[in-house]
Structure 1
Amino acid sequence: MFLSTFKAAAGGDRSVFGDFWFTPIGSQSATGMRVTPDAAMRLTAVWSCVRVLSETLASMPFRLYRNKPNGGKEIITDHPLVKLFCKAPNSFQTPFEWREMLQAHIVLRGNAYCQIITGPGGVIAELQPIHPDRIKVEMLKDGGYRYQVLQPNATTKPLSRGEVWHLRGLSFDGITGLSPIELARDAVGMGLSAQEYGARFFQNDARPGGVIEM
């Protein structure tokens, strides 16, 4: 009688950038609940963990060091990377927002990506974030790989490894990180199902529905 409350609709967001098109096969949990990183954030436990990890890393000071010829190291303050990491990683984010977002991408999806924008002389001018759901790794015949980035017009744009700064979480192949949410989809799905069931139960004034035949 209560099993239907544990089965979610499998429609999903089918817009160009919707998670329906990018969710790996098998992401439906054993409860029938379709689990995505965005759906997992509805669980307070997941939200709290992601928030603590992301905000903690973002608040840590950034230091760039140079090795001394005679040993030891010294802090560098005039390197272009100091400006990127401490002042302006790109034209629309503060360093805190940027690092917080990248860490959230890693702990939810296992990967974080930034397109490397260079200026005069090849100096890195910006690190523009790319949402992990918009980028896929394409293996090449020579054994290398490149990145295919989904554009707003539904076409893809290839980027070489030198054009993308790729941060990986735990990885089995050294190329892409593993999504913690995908690996724990049954546990997360159970939490989401229980949360949904509880909400429906109290919405019905805590009265379970059913028919008793005499």
Structure 2
Amino acid sequence: MLHRIRQFFAPDRKSLASPDSDLRALFGASNPTAAGVNVGPGTALQVPAVSAAVRAISEAVATLDAKVMVGEDEAPEHPVAILLRDRANDWTCSFEFIRDIVASALLHDQGGLAWVNRVNGRPVEVIAYDPSRLTAQRHEDGTGAYRYFLNGREMPAADIIHLRSPFGRSPVSLARESIGLSITLEKHAAKLFGSGSRPAGMVSFKDRMTPAAIQQAAAAFRAMLESTKTGNTAFMDGGADYKQLVLSSVDAQFAELVAFQVLQIARAFRVPPQMLFDLTRATWSNSEQMGREFLTYTLEPWLRALEGALGLALFSADESRTHRVHFERDDLTRADLGQRATAYSSLISARVVNPNEVRAWEGLPAYEGGDAFANPNTGANQAGAAAPQDNAGNPGNEPPAPQPEGAA
């Protein structure tokens, strides 16, 4: 317990000689993008497309049930199962812990990190420290191993959960130019419309006018518009000419560029555009397909990596041979109620499954007689129905009864 208290209150001894991306962005030491802005995890989340992509992946992973499997059997009372199912520590539930560690891996180059607190070799809690407190550095021997530091002190690698992004760089780091351009475009649009830098129209005069005359004409023009009803024609004297300013083709290309940056960010995170609420090309037919692709090409790699990282740090050397962490994917592949009912009915009628198995899939209790493989659409095949008989009235599954001697 004293060791844990020291870890919480010990000063951060992180050196400025090896700053992370957050620290470089804070002091402006990182190389700015071509758009002239520094992109870090904090600034990237200010872009709606980035925050939507991070939430789509991290929250989808956290909603899945995490189980500890021993072979093909579940071990619900295992200490690791309790940490991943109920609460990671006294102040963090399991959902928040898994969501935060995946989100950290999406934002930070060093990945998502958490410390495993063990008592007598048994994991009792896992803590996802702030990325500035718990850091990872690639080992100098070139093997790909990492060294871990908590508040400046090196920690055993066996006590660290480390979820890494591909290539050793986060999607935010790889897409920093696209994110930087999105930030610049949003700032430009905010200044353009927020400060009124583009007037609604322009009044020009043929003759040269003094500033006082211009102000007097402008006041008279506004008074005339405010005193008349909407839709009436405005009259001006002194050879004045009014021109309404409209969006040009360059402005339209600006809007297209903003939409294109959303697609670029979606590509960086491998998230379908519809998951970022870009429904420009979404239809009834391709939306379902993109949902399946989100599970197959986006979530599945992260789930496999997270299962491996949790198993590597939470199980002992002996348990790692037989135990594994498994996230139940069925919740993401479930169809709607109508489609499930049609599929269940077909499977039961074909005697592939029985009603109690279907009820177990839906989380419902079994009922008596539901274990029989019977076709409910034909009375002769229902459970408890009388056996079929032949033309002589004999049961179809028994030989004919012997006839007495002399009978015809």
**TM-score normalised by the chain length of structure 2:** 0.40
Report SS of the residue matched to 2:116.
Answer: strand
**Residue identity in the other structure for 1:169:** S
Distance 2:166 2:48 in 1: 24
Larger radius of gyration: 2
Give the corresponding residue for 1:74: 73
Q: Is the 8 A contact 1:27 1:185 kept in 2?
A: no
**Deviation sequence 1:29-63 (CA, Å, 0-9, x none):** 11111101110111111111111111111111112
Distance 2:130 2:63 in 1: 22
**2:113 pairs with 1:128:** no
**Deviation sequence 1:133-172 (CA, Å, 0-9, x none):** 43131525696542123x3xxxx1211211211111213x
- Which has the higher relative contact order, 1 or 2, with Cα contacts under 8 A spaced 6 or more apart? 1
Give the corresponding residue for 2:46: 42
Q: Is the 8 A contact 1:22 1:133 kept in 2?
A: no
Q: Is the 8 A contact 2:68 2:76 kept in 1?
A: yes
Q: Is the 8 A contact 1:116 1:165 kept in 2?
A: yes
Q: Provide closer, same or farther for how the CA distance between residues 82 and 123 of structure 1 changes in structure 2, counting only shifts above 3 A.
A: same
Deviation at 1:112, TM superposition (A): 0.5
Q: Provide closer, same or farther for how the CA distance between residues 22 and 112 of structure 1 changes in structure 2, counting only shifts above 3 A.
A: farther
- What are the ranges of 5 or more consecutive residues in structure 2 without an aligned counterpart? 1-15, 200-408
Q: Provide closer, same or farther for how the CA distance between residues 108 and 202 of structure 1 changes in structure 2, counting only shifts above 3 A.
A: same
Q: Provide closer, same or farther for how the CA distance between residues 18 and 112 of structure 1 changes in structure 2, counting only shifts above 3 A.
A: closer
Distance 1:207 1:163 in 2: 58
**2:165 pairs with 1:161:** no
Distance 1:133 1:181 in 2: 17
Give the corresponding residue for 1:199: 190
**2:149 pairs with 1:148:** yes
**2:61 pairs with 1:65:** no
Give the corresponding residue for 1:137: 137
Deviation at 1:178, TM superposition (A): 1.2
Query: Identity of aligned pairs, percent?
Result: 24
Give the corresponding residue for 2:56: 52
Give the corresponding residue for 2:90: 91
Q: Is the 8 A contact 1:89 1:126 kept in 2?
A: yes
Deviation at 1:118, TM superposition (A): 0.4
- What are the ranges of 5 or more consecutive residues in structure 1 without an aligned counterpart? 1-13, 68-72, 172-176, 209-214
Q: Is the 8 A contact 2:30 2:38 kept in 1?
A: no
Q: Provide closer, same or farther for how the CA distance between residues 145 and 191 of structure 1 changes in structure 2, counting only shifts above 3 A.
A: closer
Give the corresponding residue for 1:181: 172
Distance 1:127 1:193 in 2: 39
Distance 2:130 2:188 in 1: 32
**TM-score normalised by the chain length of structure 1:** 0.74
**Residue identity in the other structure for 2:92:** Q
Give the corresponding residue for 1:101: 100
**Residue identity in the other structure for 2:22:** D
Report SS of the residue matched to 1:51.
Answer: helix
Q: Is the 8 A contact 1:140 1:146 kept in 2?
A: no
Deviation at 1:93, TM superposition (A): 0.4
Q: Provide closer, same or farther for how the CA distance between residues 194 and 142 of structure 1 changes in structure 2, counting only shifts above 3 A.
A: closer
Deviation at 1:207, TM superposition (A): 2.2
**Greater CA drift, 180-189 or 156-165:** 156-165
Distance 1:117 1:22 in 2: 32
Query: Alignment length, in residue pairs?
Result: 178
Q: Is the 8 A contact 1:28 1:185 kept in 2?
A: no
Q: Provide closer, same or farther for how the CA distance between residues 18 and 183 of structure 1 changes in structure 2, counting only shifts above 3 A.
A: closer
**Residue identity in the other structure for 2:177:** D
CA RMSD of aligned residues (A): 2.7
**Residue identity in the other structure for 2:74:** I
